[in-house]
Structure 1
């Protein structure tokens, strides 16, 4: 499953499509032992953009329900992975990352190319021998899942839920985003056609801060995604007649070296 936009962004805002990466492993409903090495495998989905158009990716381990607000990125498994190295990657899942729950886990891949950033999700799978816990947010999402869902039904549910809540992700003030490994920034503002301002007031209120007097903890987020541009630009040819080339350039140049004495 994939969410995509023409120039960058998470969860298809405002466009939604299926394309590029299709996970084939871990298999739907499979179980992997916590602490073991897990291999993720994917293939070309048959829709644009093609894998050859993508350069690198980040791979996350996620858990939770079928909607964004009740799921979380638990761990950044691979950062800046290269598609040139093939269509698979192996990693170790630490047992303390989460809890034991049937079909609670899935993979999320954020892929980047020259002209696009896309997001794909794997099918759900289980991890056994896990020693950690889930947040209340994830537990609530898991409780909302039906007891039995088909593979395509689960994909469709997550698609619809993601599309319905994508816009809200970018309206939450940046300092207030404290859950998960990803933060969301609003779209860059489109410059106006005229300059009317006499001053440059801040566009957003200042954020609270605390002066560090000791070493700060490791940040709780690792990726920031920016909402896609909803405007477009066009170029036109300048219709003005070109100015004529200067005349007598060489004569003026030589004259400057003339001995005036």
Structure 2
């Protein structure tokens, strides 16, 4: 009983937060073909109206109710702000692309909102007929089996990156303590702060050749990654002062043949 109540609450919470509301495929439907999916959507009345959204990625998923227990299969991209119609066709390259299963599939749309926010919406579950592929792992299949009877068992709407309040005046562009935090340790803010490179001196006095800032830590991605939290990098303002002055000396005239030292040297060997 508690599980049913939780599912109902989760459904209404997603509806309240929705920014993009999927119209088709309808919940629990079996689409007509296993070659493509006709998708349409409308404004869901959330924090970011559809008219304010820009670029988007639309991805077909299969599996459980969380992305770590589901598998992305096929993606297309577009731009809300330049497309007159709100519908697309997601291709299915082969029936072997995904496994068979009732209500095994759902859609994810990741859109860019004002201030660099990432707005992520999910459709309800539906069935693709005639699929013959396998599951990515036993864990993904188990997660699907646990939710296949609930068409609303999908991740909740997410808004990442921008704050709910009005946009701030902007990040500082001069030196400050935020620029002293090593780049690889800046993991909690949407803004990354990069220090200004040191201004070279007139003489070399250092003998330590170790890097001031090590290379970025990275690992090879083997699956789709979640949207990054960081959306902007700010470099510290210039800390050195440069002075220049005009060269007022008149330019030298073009040398004549008589003034040319090489010409004089060659003239000695004309005899």
CA contact 2:192–2:230 (8 Å) conserved in 1: no
Structure 2, gaps ≥5 residues long: 1-15, 160-185, 199-209, 232-245, 250-271
TM-score with structure 1 setting the length? 0.56
Q: Following the alignment from structure 1 to structure 2, what is the Cα–Cα distance between the partners of residues 48 and 61?
A: 24
> Is the contact between residue 186 and residue 226 of structure 1 (CA under 8 Å) also seen in structure 2?
no
Of structures 1 and 2, the larger Rg is shown by 2
| Change beyond 3 A, Cα 1:201–1:191 | closer
Pick 1 or 2: higher relative contact order, CA cutoff 8 A, min separation 6: 1
* SS across alignment from 1:108: strand
How far did residue 74 of structure 1 move? 1.6
Partner of 2:27: 28
Superposed CA deviations along residues 151-177 of structure 1, whole A, max 9, x for unmatched, are 4xx35xx339x89xxxxxxxxxxxxxx
Assess if the C-alpha contact under 8 Å between 2:34 and 2:129 holds in 1.
Answer: no
Distance (whole Å) between structure 1 residues aligned to residue 19 and residue 132 of structure 2: 35
Distance 2:34 2:151 in 1: 28
Aligned to 1:202: 214
- Write the mapping of 1:75-154 to structure 2, written as runs, cut at 5 A: 75-76=74-75, 78-79=76-77, 81-83=78-80, 84-85=82-83, 86-93=85-92, 94-115=94-115, 116-135=117-136, 136-145=138-147, 148-149=149-150, 151=152, 154=153
Match of 1:227 in 2: 229
Task: Find the residue that maps to 1:133 and give its secondary structure.
Answer: coil
RMSD over equivalenced CA pairs, Å: 4.1
Q: CA deviation at 1:72?
A: 1.6
How many Å separate the matches in 2 of 1:142 and 1:87?
A: 29
SS at match of 1:31: coil
Structure 2 vs 1, CA of residues 144 and 20 (structure 1 numbering), >3 Å: closer, same or farther? same
Q: Distance in 1 between matches of 2:217 and 2:151?
A: 46
| TM-score normalised per structure 2 | 0.54
Alignment: residue pair count? 181
Distance change >3 Å, CA 199–CA 38, structure 1 → 2 = closer
Alpha-carbon distance in structure 1 between the residues aligned to 2:102 and 2:42: 25
Q: Which residue is 1:55 aligned to? A: 54
Superposition misfits of 4+ residues, deviation over 6 angstroms: none
